Amino acid sequence: MENPAGARAYARADFAAVNQGFVDRFRARFPEFVGGRAVDLGCGPADIPVRLGRALPGLQVTAVDGSAAMLAEARRAIAAAGAAPRIALVRARLPPLPFPPRAFDAILSNSLLHHLPDPLPFWHEVERLARPGAPLLVMDLARPASPAAARALVELHAAVEDPILREDFYRSLLAAFTPEEVRRQLATLSLRLECALVSDRHWVVSGRR
């Protein structure tokens, strides 16, 4: 994700169904949230902020990523969508992030957790950044039972994708957490968040600060 070729391959891949699914899930779970300040942690090419911004005209998103190459892709996508006034890009690696406590009305993150060497500081940062009552939606890959099962998922969902992306997907599946591991991570927080397996390769954590 740090090099331009990897970022470009990721930005060109077709994540439309997964990303729109994230947005639809957020809106279905938090129908009263129609605007405010949201942060997207590990925003990548910013497809989710663009889609959520389209659905919620009152939304301002701070989209955070540690990779300059990925943020260059995000900048292009935001400009193409005409969304620049409502999506601010910030280059930062978490944890921690350069924002004060309770800075955001909603916290989003997709496919970041498995990149982090230690997941607990991520969850503590989610807790720190959210104002009381803020909606939280975090999604990531779920680790399959074996490397063979991971290969099968790559074939099923990424057969026609760039080889760089296929290898990244395989390694990401093996680096990911299971829902049971995520529940143990969440038990260290003072928040009551649910973790559910929502597809053959994703779990979702949702709840309120």
Contacting positions for ligand SAM (CB under 6 A)? 1, 15, 42-44, 47-48, 65-67, 70, 93-94, 110-112, 115-116
Min separation Cβ 1 and ligand SAM, Å: 4
Number of other CB atoms surrounding residue 204 within 10 Å: 23
Copy the structure tokens of residue 198.
């929502």
Q: Would you state the structure tokens that stand for residue 167, as one six-digit string? A: 């290898």
Minimum CB distance to ligand SAM smaller for 21 or for 36: 21
44 vs 135, beta carbon nearer ligand SAM = 44
Least distance CB 111 / ligand SAM (angstroms): 4
Strands 194-197 and 202-208: antiparallel
In the complex with ligand SAM, which residue's Cβ is closer, 32 or 160? 160
177: amino acid identity, one letter: F
CB 85 within 8 A of CB 44: no
The nearer residue to ligand SAM, 20 or 133, going by C-beta atoms, is 20
The H or E element spanning position 137 is strand 135-141
Residue 85 C-beta: closest distance to ligand SAM, Å:
21
